[in-house]
Amino acid sequence: MSTARSTRASAAVDRLKVRSGNAGYSMARTGDGLFFLSEAPGEPPLCAPLDLDDFVAFVNKLGPQVARRVSKLDIAFEKQLVKKKPAP
């Protein structure tokens, strides 16, 4: 397994720890290279072993979500997109 893969999974778990305020979350990897998450080392897993993309998506959905910052320019751009949609 490459370091980039485990770094991406670790970063997702670190973001979850910050969002949730629970520093006990622990990631582990199976011999097949699949990942799973538990609330603390040695605790039962919160998910079945998942591949990297599915694991990161699962972890990103857990805990409180951070509101996405939207600028005035983003809002104006989205309004322009709505205006330009062709009528059915």
Domain boundaries, the chain: 3-84
- From residue 48, alpha-carbon distances to 54, 61, 62 in Å are 11, 15, 15
**Residue 3 pLDDT class (50, 70, 90 cuts):** low
The 10s digit of each residue's pLDDT in 11-42 is: 999 999 998 888 999 999 999 889 999 998 88
Q: Is the pLDDT of residue 74 over 60?
A: yes
Instruction: Return the structure tokens found at 88.
Output: 């059915």
Look up the pTM and report it: 0.68
